[in-house]
């Protein structure tokens, strides 16, 4: 394998850019509660303007601090359909007392950059900005129009970011056909059945849909010492127990079927995907290479929030819960039909968030070009499709007809270091993986 080494100051700057971005605290704690996004946009804007670009900065009137930045770079062949590259600048909260370093100090140690956002997804934002800086300095232009979007609010629901941009400024994305964003293109090493080391990279071509639900039960209130045959809280607990333990049937979307088959072939494993038992056995056989397929082969309904009662000796008349509901591509209608029967007759269902699954074609020139870009750095990498168990801003951009893929490349670290800690403690990305990924991204964008 050829190890990607940064050979120019611009390429090395991807590490500096990442550390600078991490040091800007862009914590998103929930709807309307976020900091730092405007400061991060100001950093990106100043960098772009310093090399001659004129980006557009946009924000909702009621939240001028929730800023987004969009830049269109005209291509050498303007008649070709264009490409969107999107990255979010916000991050989830960090608990400093649990970390070995300050989450926003952007420490570089042991071959890693450590900090909140290092892998979700300021690493990709740093690569995007590094590519743009090189283009501005050298005069290089992509083959087709490329729109770069640095957005707010992905870690909540996109109401100040991608969702708002799609609703209020669709003209920014005119003439585009496809989009790339987070969660894909990361090279990992796995062991085949015969002992060979196989380098795999999943390019996301799908995401499970989101159908978050609020459950509500009502019943008679009264004194806790005088129980009734049925209570609101009892009905709700029964419903949550059924949801927690319900095993939804296997539903293999095209992308998940090809992911399992592709990984199995690369690892020289014999699998059968003809029935539920075969699919589950195949996922088990893949081991660590299965990634999130244990979740993407079926729907999931996970209770996460419960609210009822205010006093221990009072039976509450209302009990409410929220459930994280996810569905594979192609299963949304069936899940909506079956969900009420599992919840039961005494509990109402209100869908809080409904975002359809995302699925993009695997036999497209876009997917092929992403594989070619990875192999330009590592000729032996095996590229397979992937499906995310959760969701990204791809759900917003797919609403305007874009083919959405997850491609935020990181190459294999020569010392075996791995990106770790997403949404967790000591989030970190290997420096060499970041530099290699930036090279992959640049080659993809210039040649696709």
Give me the domains of the chain, ranges plus CATH numbers: 9-183+392-447 (3.40.630.10), 215-355 (3.30.70.360)
Rounded Cα gap, residues 180 and 404, in angstroms: 6
CB 116 within 8 A of CB 427: yes
Task: Give the pLDDT band (50/70/90) at residue 1.
Answer: very low
CB 6 within 8 A of CB 435: yes
Q: Which residues pair with 213 in a beta bridge?
A: 323, 351
The per-residue pLDDT for range 112-127, each reduced to its tens digit, is 999 999 999 999 999 9
pLDDT of residue 168: 98
pLDDT of residue 354: 87
pLDDT mean over 270-274: 96
CB 225 within 8 A of CB 330: no
In terms of Cα–Cα distance, which of 207, 157, 256 is closest to 390? Answer: 207
Task: Give the pLDDT band (50/70/90) at residue 6.
Answer: very low
Does 441 have pLDDT greater than 80?
yes
Task: Give the pLDDT band (50/70/90) at residue 7.
Answer: very low
Q: Which residues pair with 318 in a beta bridge?
A: 218
Element (H, E) at 394: helix 394-398
Does 9 have pLDDT greater than 70?
no
Rounded Cα gap, residues 63 and 89, in angstroms: 16
pLDDT of residue 295: 95
* Residue 437 phi, psi dihedral angles, 5° rounding: -65, -35
8-12, 343-347, 383-387, 408-412: range with lowest mean pLDDT: 8-12
In terms of Cα–Cα distance, which of 384, 327, 325, 318 is closest to 346? Answer: 318
2-11, 128-137, 309-318, 388-397: range with lowest mean pLDDT: 2-11
CB 146 within 8 A of CB 53: no
Does 8 have pLDDT greater than 80?
no
How many C-beta neighbours within 10 Å does residue 87 have?
24
Rounded Cα gap, residues 212 and 83, in angstroms: 30
pLDDT mean over 308-334: 96
Rounded Cα gap, residues 293 and 286, in angstroms: 10
pLDDT mean over 32-60: 97
Does 209 have pLDDT greater than 90?
yes
Rounded Cα gap, residues 143 and 205, in angstroms: 23
pLDDT of residue 12: 52
Task: Give the pLDDT band (50/70/90) at residue 353.
Answer: confident
Does 2 have pLDDT greater than 50?
no
Name the average pLDDT for the chain.
Answer: 95
Q: In 344-430, which residue ranges form alpha helices assigned H by DSSP?
A: 365-377, 394-398
Q: Whole-model pTM?
A: 0.93
Rounded Cα gap, residues 212 and 85, in angstroms: 27
pLDDT mean over 222-240: 95
Please give the distance of CA 337 from its chain centroid, rounded to a whole number.
Answer: 27
């Amino acid at each position: 394998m050829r190890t990607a080494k940064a050979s120019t100051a611009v390429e090395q700057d991807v590490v500096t850019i990442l550390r600078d971005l991490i040091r800007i605290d862009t914590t998103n704690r929930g709807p309307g509660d976020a900091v730092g996004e405007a400061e991060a946009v100001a950093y990106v804007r100043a960098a772009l303007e310093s090399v001659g670009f004129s980006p557009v900065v946009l924000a909702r009137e009621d939240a001028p601090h929730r800023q987004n930045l969009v830049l269109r770079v005209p291509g050498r062949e303007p008649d070709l359909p264009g490409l969107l590259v999107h990255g979010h600048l916000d991050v989830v909260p960090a608990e400093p007392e649990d970390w070995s370093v300050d989450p926003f100090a952007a420490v570089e140690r042991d071959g890693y950059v450590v900090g909140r956002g290092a892998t979700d997804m300021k690493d990709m934002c740093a690569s995007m900005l590094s590519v743009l800086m090189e283009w501005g300095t050298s005069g290089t232009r992509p083959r087709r129009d490329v729109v770069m979007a640095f957005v707010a609010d992905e870690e909540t629901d996109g109401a100040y970011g991608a969702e708002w941009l799609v609703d209020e400024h669709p003209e920014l994305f005119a003439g585009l056909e496809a989009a790339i964003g987070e969660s894909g293109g990361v090279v990992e090493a796995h062991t085949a059945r015969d002992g060979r080391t196989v380098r795999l990279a999943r390019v996301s071509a799908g995401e499970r849909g989101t159908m978050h639900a609020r459950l509500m039960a009502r019943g008679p209130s009264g004194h806790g010492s005088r129980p009734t045959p049925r209570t609101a809280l009892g009905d709700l607990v029964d419903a949550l127990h059924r949801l927690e333990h319900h095993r939804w049937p296997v539903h293999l979307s095209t992308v998940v079927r090809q992911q399992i088959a592709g990984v199995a072939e690369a690892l020289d494993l014999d699998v059968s995907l003809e029935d539920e038992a075969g699919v589950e056995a195949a996922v088990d056989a893949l081991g660590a290479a299965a990634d999130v397929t244990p979740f993407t082969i079926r729907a999931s309904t996970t209770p996460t929030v419960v609210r009822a009662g205010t006093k221990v000796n009072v039976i509450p008349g209302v009990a409410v819960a929220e459930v994280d509901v996810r569905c594979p591509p192609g299963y949304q209608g069936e899940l909506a039909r079956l969900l009420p029967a599992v919840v039961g007759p005494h509990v109402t269902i209100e869908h809080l968030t409904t975002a359809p699954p995302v699925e993009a074609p695997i036999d497209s020139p876009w997917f092929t070009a992403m594989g070619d870009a990875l192999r330009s750095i590592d000729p032996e990498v095996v590229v397979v499709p992937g499906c995310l168990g959760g969701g990204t801003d791809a759900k917003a951009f797919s609403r305007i007809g874009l083919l959405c893929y997850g491609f935020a490349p990181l190459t294999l670290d020569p010392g075996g270091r791995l990106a770790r800690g997403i949404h967790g403690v000591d989030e970190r990305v290997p420096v060499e993986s970041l530099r290699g990924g930036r090279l992959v991204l640049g080659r993809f964008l210039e040649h696709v």
